[in-house]
Amino acid sequence: MAASTLSVMCGIVAYVGARPAKDVVLEGLRRLEYRGYDSAGIAVLDGEEVELRRKAGPLANLEELLAVSPLPSSGTGLGHTRWATHGAPTDDNAHPHLDCKNALAVIHNGVIENHATLRAQLLEAGHRFRSETDTEVVAHLLEDAFGQSGDLAQAMRDVCRMIDGSFSLVAVHRDAPGVVVGARRNSPLVVGVGDGEMFVASDVAAFISATRDALELGQDQVVCVTPSGAEVTTFDGTVVNGRRYHVDWDISAAEKGGYDYFMLKEIAEQPDAVAATLLGRLTHEGTLALDETRLDPRLLRDVDKIVVVACGSAYHAGLIAKYAIEHWAGLPCEVELASEFRYRDPILDKQSLVIAISQSGETLDTLMAVQHAKEMGARVLAICNVNGSTIPRASDAVLYTRAGPEIGVAATKSFVTQLVAVYLVALYLGQVRGTKFGDEVAEVVHELAATPEKVAQVLQTMEPVREIARQLASAPTVLFLGRHVGYPVALEGALKLKELAYMHAEGFAAGELKHGPIALIERGVPVVIVMPPPTGRAVLHSKLLANMQEVRARGAYTIVIAEEGDTAVEPYADELVRVPRVATLLQPIVSVIPLQVFASELAVARGNNVDRPRNLAKSVTVE
């Protein structure tokens, strides 16, 4: 697999050649719809101006629009399927975006961090904005830059040096017919090399039916594409050679990035998803800025209780939130199953903050809990992955996780980004309440910023975990043990096995073993143990080490997830899985990865459909 790159998930495809661009682009968008389903749009060059069609909702909405308002035939065009980050999923916010003269169209994947400053400057200069997106800033910057140089590639280079953040950009201009220009920083962009035609896309799936020959762009590079070829330069104009390669996947595999299942692809995307969720959160002054929250810090200073409501994997993220909030913010925190919340007469008032966690933003149990909390006067902060969904709209504030679309039913990258989000919320509460100083907040954020690389390290060492899973394919049960934040990780590992392998699995707080669960231990029973770091809260490590000896003495087959350098576990581990060193509170980000891989591989070994486990739906919209 190619090296991981940061990407807020959207689908990009552009074409230049002899065929009608509208047809080629639409076919590409169908293959990329899994990357963004909030809205879609296509633009083609048509003489005096750019012709544009776009529509909120799934791609089918755009196809219906094109049926009644067809685009002209043109050999140059581009299209986009959007997963919203800035601006709600509406027609006006859908890509492509145009400049003031309708002469230029641009599509974008990623986040422009300094868009607010640039937008203010452009408005002062007389530009008219028609959307809430960060992307439209680029359209107007390109308008000015092209007016100065008359060269679209040069204009793109000039603009890329002005913008901060993560992006892949593609643009066309009426005065540059037969030309498509793209650029990338920390976000994938690839060129498809055809016979008298060329493609630019965020994923080879967009063009693999036409060509398997591709050109990969490097970091901070611009490509200028014509039907006869491509020229690649750096942002400062130096000509470079892009990496040519041949794609061996077929069409169906390309949609999954070469993986057998979407879940495997989504596990591999977790370094990107974590990095995207962290992007732009720390200001130049070293303070945490959660601009989506829209909650007055003065209100947060008055909060005297936190209640987290969630279901399934999100509930496990909430359990970890409790440790972080109480440790960093010094606030009492309760964690509730959303399905039980409103039936037990919870005590809430205007000084209560309810945090609702939902990947889809449509989980009905959680939505009902949100509505109940609002009726009782509490303020609600949603942590969600889908922009503009129901739960964020019903809440007072929202923090988006930026994991990108998750096709597999079992939560993987959405869970890990929920962990990052709850850490950010806990730190932010500590910051505004004065329980954490700015340098302390910045230190933890910098530790978080190192986790994408550490997740990538874990993913590179997972083959032994897959082998363990294959060996246990016929096991009737697997038990999981953890302490502190490792306990919710144990619960999540057990849930993954239930969901995917259809087998009995239980997660326990290890200190509870002697209060009953140890009766389940007999010879050969697999027990997965999530060890805390030996430093920090050393007592946690020593106590779980004792629990490990207890189960092993009774015949358990121990599979131990432990930090690099932890030698104390070695005599008691039948199988040892190493994860990188991180702070105790942050360890779930790395320790849950082997459990995801373990569950998916065991499910495959048992012949199950990993992406579509039986009886389950991605979003639970009934109580």
* CA nearest neighbour of 427 among 405, 449, 409, 452: 449
Instruction: Name 613's Cβ contacts closer than 8 Å, sequence gap at least 6.
Output: 409, 410, 499, 500, 502, 603
Q: Where are the beta strands (DSSP E) in 49-197?
A: 49-56, 76-82, 97-98, 104-112, 165-173, 180-185, 190-193
Q: Is 203 helix (H, G, I), strand (E, B) or coil?
A: coil
Q: Is 618 one of the catalytic residues?
A: yes
DSSP at 403: -
Q: Catalytic: which of 374, 498, 543, 618?
A: 618
Q: Exposed, middle or buried: residue 237 (CB in 10 Å: 0-12, 13-18, 19+)?
A: exposed
Q: Catalytic: which of 10, 160, 311, 333?
A: 10
Q: How far apart are CA 578 and CA 465, in angstroms?
A: 10
CB atoms within 10 A of CB 518: 16
Q: Where are the beta strands (DSSP E) in 92-220?
A: 97-98, 104-112, 165-173, 180-185, 190-193, 198-201, 213-216
Residue 535 contacts residue 582 (beta carbons within 8 Å): no
Residue 406 contacts residue 425 (beta carbons within 8 Å): no
Residue 177 contacts residue 17 (beta carbons within 8 Å): no
Instruction: Name 253's Cβ contacts closer than 8 Å, sequence gap at least 6.
Output: 259, 260
SS3 content of the chain, % helix, strand, coil (to 5): 40, 25, 35
* CA nearest neighbour of 256 among 31, 39, 415: 31
Q: How far apart are CA 576 and CA 610, in angstroms?
A: 25
For the chain, first and last CA: distance in Å?
Answer: 40
Amino acid found at 135? T
**Torsional class of 315: left (φ above 0), alpha (ψ -120 to 50), beta (otherwise):** alpha
Following DSSP, what letter does each residue of 576-613 receive, concatenated? EEEE----GGGTHHHHHHHHHHHHHHHHHHTT--SSS-
So which residues are the catalytic ones? Answer: 10, 618
